[in-house]
Structure 1
Amino acid sequence: MKQKFMLQSTLALTAFAAVFTQQQLTYANEQEQPITIGAGQHTPITLDAPNIDNPAAPTITNVNTSDVKPIEGQTVDVRILATTDLHTNLVNYDYYQDKPVETLGLAKTALLIEEAKKENPNTVLVDNGDTIQGTPLGTYKSIVKPIENGEEHPMYVALNALGYDIGTLGNHEFNYGLDYLNKVIASAKMPIVNANVLDAQTGEFIYEPYKILEKAFIDTEGRKTLVKIGVTGIVPPQIMLWDKANLEGKVIVRDAVDAVKDMIPVLRKAGADIVLVLSHSGIGDDIYEHGEENVGYQIASLPGVDAVVTGHSHAEFPSGNGSGFYEKYKGVDGIEGKINGTPVTMAGKYGDHLGIIDLNLTYTAGKWNVNTSKGQIRKIDTKSAAADKTILDLAKEAHEGTVTYVRQQVGTTTAPITSYFALVKDDPSVQIVNNAQLWYAKQELAGTPEANLPLLSAAAPFKAGTRNDPTAYTNIPAGPIAIKNVADLYLYDNVTAIVKVTGAQLKEWLEMSAGQFNTIDPHATQPQNLINTEYRTYNFDVIDGVTYRIDVTQPNKYDRNGKIVHETANRIVNLEYQGKAIDPNQEFIVVTNNYRSNGTFPGVKDASLKRLLNLENRQAIINYILAQKEINPRANQNWYFADTIKGLDLRFMTANSAKEFSSNLEDVSYLEPSSIEGFGTYRFTYVEPTIQVEEPNLPPLAPTTPIIEKEIKEEISLPNGQKVTLPVSKIVQPQSKTSLPATSISKNSRSDKGKLPNTGTSTSPLGLFGLATLALASLGLKKGNHSKD
């Protein structure tokens, strides 16, 4: 239910809405390290704090408060436990590889929670958002078999079972639209707070801006005492860019620091002894720009904030040993886990860590005061199969449904598809995405004025060793391709989009993408690192339909934040269309995703046309493979490096296991294992390329949804018993009579009761269930149920 907290000034609200789009914003995929793009003049504007006649929001009370009133001199140790960026990793299972793993999953984090509670039962357990999206399980429960009204989302079923006190929203909570999010929140049996997302028309808080948790703790003398913890939460304002199609005209988002600053006195007036901020925002840095994305540093620096849980960046803080990334900034203590004296945690991603904040409080002069504090994170046990049985049991239905869904076969590939070398040469995992986008966009644009313009496609390698994770690569063997493999190729719930750009803008787009590489000294004889590891690989767009080379001996034109640092630099050379140099005034249509089209990426932000298409990018790939039946993943080598690096000793890292794929490559050779576990060091040797400019081998154009031919009808039954009549495409083979194989779990890893299936790597032919889910997803999206990352 909306809280009827009105903003004091309608004029302030109107001004905020007008200025918002001109503020300097950051653009990063999910939850990542910041990449600030686009600088514009703007006047910072602050919305008035909410006018609350009675500031006491509903409280969560677990005791008779009259029996546990604090007394002068009492001391109590309070522990805050936090997860962040779970991204529907409910169990320790990799749906893309279709096998159990021990590096992620709330079922494993739960063991750390139990251990931490045993050490100190005076706990507050919180979740920091990005909870309902991220794996095929999230897709399954939002599109394939969406939750019904009143049905609790499996993630919140698990959080409740573990005793979570409260949560907040992440940017990915908005991916499936406000209606779906409202359904999730309404059925969640725990409070979910957010203080900076407001109704665009009324200025009201859409979600509860805060809660007061009244908790009975045991003091150091063994007596019960009452502590009131005030909790609020924020999300990056950039959701207005990332989920523009879902949010534009419906909500506005305040600057996160302003929102927290205004909420602190409200929380204190409501009786909060301790102020805890759930900041679904990265720590960022010590330089603040109004409206920016990652402001954990600034929130921790606000007077009156006692503890901060951060996330969004999928990074880790504190290091515990003083060696962490953020510890270069003034006031950051990576040993005690503090930023300017305030304890802070960032517990990684996917449940791989648990954040722990310890507060020692003494009740003096009628209030609780923080004496000492410390932040730390603990990593799950990745060496054993130990997991919380309660979570496994609760997850069973959703997990098994997801496994069945992702195993639906859509086609075959004639060769392996890997992304191990996607940052040093044209890559099959990116090529297939671009081929599919071109095929789909041609259908969508047929008969429109845009069909007369040259059509290009942009895609980036999403899995290329993200954040020093040697398992974060695509590796699809030759043979059957299932939905799980497509999800591995395209991780995010983006929606296809087109932009119209000029040749000049296209070059700037590629100049920004070329920031993936370090500047190479052409005269150096010693080894040089080729890859800029601080650049996010999802911003390394490869644009198909043109040919070009990248001269990495030139400096970057843009820094990783999208700001011009070398105005005259030209890394992109020999940029050609159909064998001729591109005319700067020539117009092109580029098919991409809503994330890129709505952002402020150089070359894209000034596009004269931006339009969403009807399908998610992932669904377009599925339809393409269904139509093609058998795909050849060979990349067409439309980009390569300029010959200015010829003869140089260039090094880069990728998974150590990729060495078997390098043996038949002329320009890549394996050297040795890296000092970072799971990675290997490779040498890149320039080899004069043969650039192929022919059109990709695409299947014939089909209607917008290729799996549907209206003259053939079929009635099918979904797993929930619902009868659906769908048109069936002639290109789909008849349903196989083969059932999914019987599965089992090792008794050494889990008990037989409530066990999860060991799904292995088997796939089944595309049956009517798979066809139904694909078609329903397509039809749902055509009605405007778009989602993104």
Structure 2
Amino acid sequence: MTRRTVIGGAAALAAAGFQTVPAYAGQGQDKTVRLSVLGTTDLHGNVFNWDYFKNAEYDDSAHNDIGLAKISTLVTAVRDRIAADRHAPRPLLLDAGDTLQGTPLAYYYAKIEPITGGHVHPMAAAMNRIGYDAAALGNHEFNYGLDILRKFQSQVRFPLLGANAQDWTTGLPAFPPYMLKRVHVPGDKPITVGILGLTNPGIAIWDKAIVENKLTFGGIVELAKEWVPKVRAAGADIVIVAVHSGMDLSSSYGDALPYPENTSALMAETVPGIDAVLVGHAHLEIPERFVTNKATGEQVVLSEPLKWGMRLSLFDLDVQKVHGQWKVVGRHSQVLNANTVDADPQVVTLLQKDHDTVVGYVNSKIGTCTEAMSAATAPWEDTAALDFVNFVQADAVAKALAGTPQASLPVLAIAAPFNRAASIPAGEVSIRDVAGLYVFDNTLLGVTMTGVQLTEYLEFSAQYFKQVTGTGPFPSSQVTNAPTPTAPNGTPDYNYDILGGLTKPLTYKIDIAKPVGSRITDLAYDGTPVAADQQFVVAVNNYRQSGGGNFPHVKTAPVVYNRQVEIRQLMIDYVTTTGTVDPKAFHTGDWSLVSNGVPITVTV
């Protein structure tokens, strides 16, 4: 689906949502100069507006477009507009992290043809072509190991900043903390811009296996308090922070670390000397937010440009000389929409070969399946397709917990029927076949839950079913997708969770003749009724663990595993490694629908 309506220039900016912001109108002897700063974040390996798993142009319900090729067109349009004003300085371009992971394009050049062999990473090539000035490290920069990250660092023509990424032994910065950029002002002294980069402390948990004994990660607020004065002392007239941390205070890892995960607004509020913040990590669209610093009373402007290159943040900082020094006297920000422009043909040409290589890889055969697995009936009967997802999730968590206090606990997994159209054929299997079973970019966590919590969780999930009596046969529309107060048009399939065991079966029945809240019967683990206080480790995706769907207990359950690994990639890796998928190895009849205790029949 093509949604591009304009190509570039002023029309592109207008269509992208650009709004002209009045310049600072205060009194003063010196002129006001507007410095513009552009920003991206959470690009996650996206260069092209392409969904590799669907083998088609990217599209979503909001008709967003993605990728650096489109961002390049927006950046050029802004630069051209500013260049038309001979008195305005050239804008800066920054990124707030999470560049190296997220698409098959990124995966291919980390794992299949790693850039350590000499190939220039497509994200490095694209960002160099567009002309970035600096980028903060994101947590996903560490996913593929320090060798890949250091090679990427050597390939980009701009610094990767991370003031709180510190050497394990010395505590000194392992990456440049900041950079000073002298911006030419026609007819006047240059503006010295200090750009401070901060990354997420959660890396210490999420990529522990990679960074332990090598790198440590201090708190964002704590290190900003240390480094902002240093940046000012080094000569910065303006300080901009690119930080890979969400806007509002929260932590997915609870109190497992002494430093919060999401703390951008708190940093702006408590650390003096910051003028603007490019926010990343949370995948939210926040065009403009103002925070008043408690120490100085000065306003700080913050912006987060969604994800994947869907948006481009544009900061306008009005600066004026006060006692001979440049000072920010006015500040605004907005976001521009990438779905209004064509891809930059120069970026496309530069990376077309890499793109084609990865398209071929994703459609390549990686193994075989002994018998077909379909998700068509997964919402109302136990299927091998969903058991496969649960098996891979539980297996990954169980292996990671070896040697930990939780290693002796039974391991379960939760999956939902995301895509009824998905199937893995008998015979040869491609990456795309496997990916079809898991259409979201969720990552895997492991939490601990008790028997009574599992029961309440399953009862909540079972509200997905409409209340019917009799044994049927019922058409599936008469049984599934029940309306609820929070889903008046019907509970979506992705909010029906199915549980399964790894080494031993977790079995239960759902009696849909009963009212919501009293449907789960015969819940047993390895044939023994589950005790209320029995402890389990449960593999679950990050969307559910963070509160998505509002399922009980899982959001507050203790987290025992979180390496930020994509579930979809785990499934692909399993097939690639084993070479053969045999449903007999993991498919068991764990759950079933009954009516007043009697099995029912559901048809498509």
Helix, strand or coil for the counterpart of 2:190? strand
1:166-245 maps to which residues of 2 (within 5 A)?
Answer: 166-218=134-186, 223=187, 225-245=189-209
Matches within 5 A, 1:739-758: none
- The 1:550–1:474 alpha-carbon spacing in structure 2 relative to 1, beyond 3 Å, is closer
TM-score (norm. length: structure 2): 0.70
Q: Among residues 402, 406, 422, which one is paired with 1:476 in the alignment?
A: 422
In structure 2, the CA distance between the partners of 1:572 and 1:84, relative to structure 1 (3 Å rule), is farther
* Shift in Å, 1:618: 2.7
Q: 2:529 aligns with which of 581, 588, 592?
A: 581
Residue type of the partner of 1:365?
A: H
SS of equivalent residue, structure 2 residue 303? strand
Partner amino acid for 2:44? H
Change (3 A) 1:538 1:305: farther
> Is the Cα contact below 8 Å between 1:437 and 1:620 reproduced in 2?
no
The 3-state SS of whatever aligns with 1:217 is coil
Name the SS of the counterpart of 1:267 in structure 2: helix
Alignment of 1:81-96 (within 5 A): 81-96=38-53
- Matching residue of 1:547: 507
Counterparts of 2:526 and 2:140 in 1: how far apart (Å)?
39
Structure 2 CA distance for aligned equivalents of residues 590 and 128 of structure 1: 32
The residue number in structure 1 matching 2:212 is 248
In structure 1, distance between residues paired with 2:240 and 2:93: 12
2:413 to 458, 472, 476: 458
Cα pair 1:411 1:630 within 8 Å, conserved: no
Which residue of 197, 214, 233 corresponds with 1:269? 233
Task: Letter of the 1:458 partner, please give it.
Answer: A
SS at match of 2:184: strand
CA contact (8 A) 2:39 2:95 kept: yes
1:213-244 deviation digits (Å, cap 9, x = unpaired): 111134xxxx3541111011112211111111
Partner of 2:580: 627
The CA deviation string for residues 317-336 of structure 1, in whole angstroms up to 9 with x for no partner, is 027xxxxxxx8x9979xxxx
Equivalent residues of 1:169, 1:192 under 8 A apart: yes
Under a length normalisation based on structure 1, what TM-score does the superposition of the two structures give? 0.55
Counterparts of 1:769-788 in structure 2 under 5 Å?
none
8 Å CA contact 1:236, 1:281 repeated in 2: yes
Q: Is the 8 A contact 2:414 2:540 kept in 1?
A: yes
Deviates more, 1:580-589 or 1:481-490: 580-589
| Residues 706-731 of structure 1 deviation map (CA, whole Å, 9 limit, x = unaligned) | xxxxxxxxxxxxxxxxxxxxxxxxxx
**Counterpart position of 2:390:** 434
Where 1:529 maps in the other structure, the secondary structure is coil
Distance 1:547 1:148, change over 3 A: same
User: 1:350 is matched with which residue: 265, 283, 308?
Assistant: 308
Aligned to 1:105: 67
- Deviations for 1:62-98, whole angstroms, at most 9, x for unmatched residues? xxxxxxxxx9713211111111101001111111101
> After superposition, what is the alpha-carbon deviation per residue over 1:368-403, rounded to whole angstroms, capped at 9, x for unaligned?
122221111111126x7x211111112123212211
Q: What is residue 50 of structure 1 aligned with on the other side?
A: none
Superposed displacement of residue 299, structure 1? 2.2
Q: Does 1:374 align with 2:327?
A: no
CA shift for structure 1 position 540: 6.9
Mapping of residues 156-175 of structure 1, within 5 Å: 156-175=124-143
Task: Deviation per CA, 1:109-149: give whole Å up to 9, x if none.
Answer: 22111122222242000111100100111110111100026
C-alpha spacing 1:570/1:688, structure 2 compared with 1 (3 Å): closer
Q: State the alpha-carbon separation in 2 of the partners of residues 266 and 571 from structure 1.
A: 62
Matched position secondary structure for 2:200: coil
Q: Distance in 2 between matches of 1:206 and 1:298?
A: 25
What amino acid is aligned across from residue 126 of structure 1 in structure 2? L
> For residue 282 of structure 2, what is the aligned residue in structure 1?
313
Preserved contact between residue 243 and residue 278 of structure 2 (Cα < 8 Å):
yes
Q: Tell me how far 1:616 sits from its aligned partner.
A: 7.0
Distance 1:402-1:150 versus aligned 2 partners, 3 A rule: closer
Q: Does 1:154 align with 2:122?
A: yes
1:271–1:527 Cα change, 3 Å: same
CA distance in structure 2 between the aligned counterparts of 1:173 and 1:315, rounded to whole angstroms:
19
Q: What is the CA-CA distance between 1:251 and the residue it aligns to? A: 1.8
Question: Contact 1:89/1:350 (CA < 8 Å) preserved in 2?
Answer: yes
1:114 maps to which residue?
Answer: 76
| Match of residue 137 from structure 1 | 105
1:638 matches 2:598: no
Say what the alpha-carbon RMSD is for the aligned residues: 5.1
Q: CA deviation at 1:542?
A: 3.8
Q: How many residues matched?
A: 512
* Distance across 2 between alignment mates of 1:174 and 1:83: 19
SS of corresponding position for 2:38: strand
Cα distance, 1:513–1:197 mapped onto 2, change above 3 Å: farther
User: Quick one: distance in 1 between partners of 2:145 and 2:458?
Assistant: 30
**Out of 22, 31, 45, which is 1:74 matched to?**
31
Task: Using the TM superposition, give the Cα deviation of residue 311 of structure 1 relative to its aligned residue in structure 2, in angstroms.
Answer: 1.5
Residue segments in structure 1 that go unaligned for 5+ positions in a row: 1-70, 320-326, 333-338, 465-472, 553-568, 647-686, 693-789
> CA–CA distance in 2 between the matches of 1:292 and 1:551?
43
The 1:272/1:593 distance shift into structure 2, 3 A limit, reads same
Deviation at 1:414, TM superposition (A): 3.7
- Cα gap change, 1:391 to 1:184, in 2 (>3 Å): same
Identical counterparts, % of pairs: 28
Structure 2 counterparts to residues 277-288 of structure 1, below 5 A: 277-285=241-249
- Are the aligned partners of 1:193 and 1:209 in contact in 2 as well (CA < 8 Å)? yes
CA distance in 2, matches of 1:230, 1:91: 31
Distance (whole Å) between structure 1 residues aligned to residue 580 and residue 236 of structure 2 = 60
How far the C-alpha of 1:167 sits from its partner, in A, is 0.6
What are the Cα deviations for residues 20-46 of structure 1, in whole angstroms up to 9, with x where unaligned? Answer: xxxxxxxxxxxxxxxxxxxxxxxxxxx
User: Which residue among 338, 353, 366 is the counterpart of 1:397?
Assistant: 353
CA deviation vs aligned residue, 1:129-181 (integer Å, no higher than 9, x gap): 10010011111011110002665321011101001111111110111122221
Q: Which residue of 1 aligns with 2:15?
A: none
User: CA–CA distance in 1 between the matches of 2:458 and 2:339?
Assistant: 37
Kindly provide the amino acid, as one letter, of the partner of residue 285 in structure 2.
E
2:5 corresponds to which residue? none
1:415-564 equivalences under 5 Å are: 416-417=374-375, 430-436=386-392, 456-460=411-415, 475-476=421-422, 479=425, 481-489=429-437, 505=450, 507-508=452-453, 528-530=485-487, 542-544=499-501, 545-548=505-508
1:618 aligns with 2:571: yes
Q: 1:548 to 1:349 in 2, by over 3 A?
A: farther
Cα 1:217–1:528, aligned 2, differ >3 Å: closer, same or farther?
A: same
Other structure's SS at 1:120 match: helix
Distance 1:189 1:485 in 2: 38
- One-letter code aligned to 1:250: K
Give, as a single letter, the amino acid of the residue that structure 2 aligns with 1:246. I
Are residues 628 and 264 of structure 1, via their aligned partners in 2, closer, same or farther at CA, if it must alter by over 3 Å?
closer
Distance 1:577 1:690 in 2: 23
SS at match of 1:148: helix
Distance 1:388 1:254 in 2: 38
Separation in structure 1 between the aligned mates of residue 179 and residue 163 of structure 2, nearest angstrom: 11
Q: Quick one: distance in 2 between partners of 1:84 and 1:141?
A: 20
Judging changes above 3 Å, is the alpha-carbon distance between structure 1 residues 200 and 80 closer, same or farther for their aligned structure 2 residues?
Answer: same
Provide the secondary structure at the position in 2 that maps to 1:97: coil
Inter-CA distance 365–311: structure 2 relative to 1 (3 Å threshold): same
Distance 2:339 2:331 in 1: 26
Give the drift of 1:505. Answer: 3.6
Post-superposition offset of 1:184: 1.6
SS at match of 1:125: strand
Q: Distance in 2 between matches of 1:259 and 1:539?
A: 43
Give the SS at the match of 1:80. strand
Aligned to 1:295: 263
